Chains A and B, each alone.
Chain A
Amino acid sequence: MPKMMKTGIEGLDRVLCGGLLHHNSVLVKGAPGCGKTTLGIQTVYNGAVMFDEPGVIVLFEQFPQQLYRDLMSYDWDIEKLVRENKLRVIFSSPDQVVAPDKMRESPLVSQIHDAAMEIGAIRILIDSITHILNLASDTRHAREMLLRFINALKSIGLTPIMTAEAENRLGAIGIDEYLCDCVLLLSSEASKDKTFHVRELTIRKTRGHDHLRGRHLFKLSRAGIEVFPLTQAHVSEDIAGERAAGKLEKLSSGISGLDDLLGGGYPRGTSTIITGMPGTFKTTLAAQFAVKGAEPGDKSLIISFTEHPEFFAALMEEKGLRVRAMAREGRLKVWHFTPKESYIEELLYRLEAEMDGNGITRLVVDGINEIERSIEAPEAYKDVISTFLSACASRGVTSLFTQKMDQFTGHSPLTDIRYASMFDGIVYLGTIEIESSVHKVVSVLKMRGSNYSNDLREIVCDNTGIKVLSKFIGLSGVLSGNAQGQYKKNIEELFQPLYFIRDFLEILSTTEMAPDERDAVVQNLRGETNKLVDKLKIHFDVKS
C-alpha cells in the first residue's frame, strides 16, 4: 500500500480511507460558494503545517489582497507560511497555461516549477481549471490542454488538487472528471428546515484506493471544512453473543421499583425508548439512570435537544439529581444540540468520538421527536435512529431515548412509538384519572433479554427523584391512551345496571302491575343483578 497523503481534514481522510494518493490528480468540483477553494487551500495549508509537505497555491483572476482578505475569516496564517518558505502563492491568468510553441513549456508551468523547487513543494492547488478549459476551442482541445497541464505538474513531483465549477452535482460528467484520478463532488443546498445551507460531499472515484460511499455532510467554520462521514457501526460479536445467550449484565435504572419491573435493570448494551405524554417524568426517569443509577466506574452522557446544559442541570437538581457534582467529577456530561442549527450526522460523529475517547457507558438522548422534526426526508429518520442504536450497541453502551407522545391522538401508544421494533426495550409512562385526581403510571412494555414484569405501577416525583409505588389493581385500559375514557366506560357499565336495579325495585314496590308483568320485571332484575355480579368479579379480579 503506497503511503497516503492525508488532507488533515479528519472526517475527509476517513471518507478517503486514509487520505489522497501522492501523484494522483484530484478534482474538487461543485457549484460556486460550496467550499471548493476552502477545501483546496486547507489541504495545502495542512500539508505545510501538519505533514511537512510544503505547497503551492495557483489562483487565476484573483488579486492577492482579495485572497488574504477572504482568508481572514479562517484561522490560517497564510502569510506566515510564505515567510517561512513553506508556501508559495502564484497569481496568474489562464492564458499563461498555453505554451507559445510546442518546443517550450508554458510560462505558468515554468513559474510553478521554480516555486516548487525553491521550497520543495509536494502539494499544489489550482483554482480553478474551469478558467483553463474556457480557453479551449473544442472538447478535444480542452482535453489535450488539461492532460498536458496535469502531466506537467505530476512530472515536477507535485500532487495537483484542482477545483472546477459545476452547475450542480447531478450535471453531465465533464472531461475533467475523466482525466483526474480522484473526484470529489461538493454541493450546497438551501434546506427548508435548517437555518443554514446543507452541504454534501460525494466521492465519484479514487484511483488506487478505496473510499466510503454515500453522501457525507460537511460544514464550513473558522477552522475550515469539517466532514462528518456517513458510518454504519456493527454490533460487536462479543455483545451479540452475550445477547443471544440472554446473560447480559443489568444496569440499575437508579429507581429500585423500576429495576424490579425491568427484571433487575436495563441489560447492558441495549437501547430503550421511554415514551409518554408530556409531563409524565420521561426526562427525569432517563436522567435518573445516568445520575443515580451510575456505578463508580460509569461515565454518562446526556444529550438534550431542548434544554441548555445549565438549565437542564438546574431542572434535574430540583429533582434531587446531582448533575452538577457528577459533571465536576468528570462522570457526567450534558450536551445541548439544536437539530435545526446543525446536522444530526455531526452529532453522531461527535458522539462516536466521545464514546471511544471517554469511555461512555450510559447514554441518554432526550426528546428524539426533535430529530424527526429536523430531518427533511422522513424515510431517513429510521436510518438516523438505526445509526444511533448501532453506534451504542457496537460499543456496549446502554442507552435510553425519550419520546413525547401526541397528547390528542388517544391511540394505542404502541402504534405511536415509531419503529418500536428497533429498540430492545419500551417503557411507557402515562396518566390515569381516579376520582378526579390524576395519577402517573409506568409500565414496561418490552425488554429483550430480560424477565420483565407486566405490572402497571404508580410513580411519584419529588425533590429526591422518581419513586415507583405499588401495583394498581382493577384499572384496565390505561394503555388505550385514553384512560379517562376507559374509566368512564367502566363506570357506565357498572352503574347503569345498578341504577336499573334500584329504580325497578322502587317501581315494583310502588306500582300496581299484572302478575305476568311483575314476573317479567323480577326476571329482568334477576338477570341484570347476575350480570352485574359477574362484571364486578372481573373488574376486581375476584375468583369465587
Chain B
Amino acid sequence: MPKTILIADDNEAVRTILRLSLQFKGYKLIEVDDGAQALAVLKDTPVDLLISDIAMPNMTGLELLDKLRADAGGGAHKQLPIIICSAESDAKRDNIIARGATDFVAKPYRPLEMLEVIAKIFRQG
C-alpha cells in the first residue's frame, strides 16, 4: 500500500518539483494551496505525511501546525508526521521543531534531500 503525502504550498512550481520527485518514489500525492485547504483534506482523508510551506495565504503553515498539534479532528493528527519548509531566513529549525514539526527543510531544497528526510520519517514511524 503506497503512503499518501499531502503537500501544502501556494507556489505551483515548487509543487511540480515535489510531485515529480515523490511520484518517482511511488508515493501517492494530494496537493493543496494553503493551510485551510489542508485542514479540510485532513478531516476526511487518511494521510501518512504532511509537507507544508510557511508563507501561504488564508492559513500559514505554522497556524496549520498549531491547529493539528492542538486538537483539530479530535486529536487524530497529534501524531501526524509534518515537514515544514520555508525560504524565510528567520525561520529557525529548532523553534519549528519545538513547536511540533517532525522536521524542517530550508528552501530551496534538493529533491534528494527531501526524499531522504521523508524516507527517514517513514523508517522511524
Which A residues lie at the B interface, using CB under 8 A? Answer: 485, 488-489, 491-493, 495-497, 499-500, 502-504, 506-507, 521, 524, 528, 531, 535
Contact = CB atoms under 8 A, between A and B. Distances in A.
A489 B11 CA distance: 8
B98 interface: no
Contacts of A506: 112
Given A485-B55, A496-B17, A502-B110, 17 more contacts: A488-B87, A491-B87, A492-B14, A492-B87, A493-B14, A495-B108, A496-B107, A496-B108, A497-B13, A499-B108, A499-B111, A500-B111, A503-B111, A503-B112, A507-B24, A521-B24, A524-B20
A273 B24 CA distance: 55
Nearest to A491: B108
| Interface pairs A-B: 8 shortest CB-CB | A495-B108, A488-B87, A499-B110, A503-B112, A496-B17, A500-B17, A493-B13, A503-B111
Nearest to A521: B24
B33 to A, nearest CB: 14
Q: Is the interface of A mostly helix, strand, loop or mixed?
A: helix
A492 B20 contact: no
Interface in B1-59: 11, 13-14, 16-17, 20-21, 24, 55
Contact of B88 (A488, A493, A503, A528): A488
16 contacts: A488-B87, A492-B107, A493-B11, A493-B13, A493-B14, A499-B109, A500-B21, A503-B110, A503-B111, A503-B112, A504-B21, A504-B24, A506-B112, A507-B24, A528-B16, A535-B13
A154 B112 CA distance: 102
A379 to B, nearest CB: 32
A130 B25 CA distance: 95
A496 B17 CA distance: 7
A229 to B, nearest CB: 50
Interface residues of B, number: 17
Nearest to A499: B110
A504 B111 CA distance: 8
Contacts, number: 55
A528 B110 contact: no
B111 A492 contact: no
Contacts of B24: 504, 507, 521
A531 B17 CA distance: 12
Contacts of B20: 500, 504, 524, 528
Contacts of B111: 499-500, 503-504
B25 to A, nearest CB: 10
Nearest to B109: A499
A223 to B, nearest CB: 57
Nearest to A535: B13
B55, B88, B111, most chain A CB atoms within 10 A: B111
A488 B112 CA distance: 21
Nearest to B55: A485
Contacts of A488: 87-88, 107
A107 to B, nearest CB: 84
Contacts of B13: 492-493, 496-497, 531, 535
A497 B17 contact: yes
B94 to A, nearest CB: 21
A492 B55 contact: no
B92 to A, nearest CB: 16
Contacts of A497: 13, 16-17
Contacts of B108: 491-492, 495-496, 499
A499 B88 CA distance: 19
Contacts of B21: 500, 503-504
Contacts of A531: 13
Which residue, of A489, A491, A496, A502, has the highest number of chain B Cβ atoms within 10 A?
Answer: A496
A497 B108 CA distance: 10
Given A496-B13, A524-B20, A489 B110 contact: no
Nearest to A520: B24
Contacts of A491: 87, 108
Contacts of B17: 496-497, 499-500, 528
A70 B107 CA distance: 75
A489 B109 contact: no
Contacts of A495: 108
A528 B18 CA distance: 12
Nearest to B111: A503
A488 B10 CA distance: 14
Contacts of A500: 17, 20-21, 111
Interface in B70-114: 87-88, 107-112
A531 B20 CA distance: 14
A502 B113 CA distance: 12
A485 B88 CA distance: 8
A496 B112 contact: no
A491 B107 CA distance: 9
A402 B120 CA distance: 55
A477 to B, nearest CB: 14
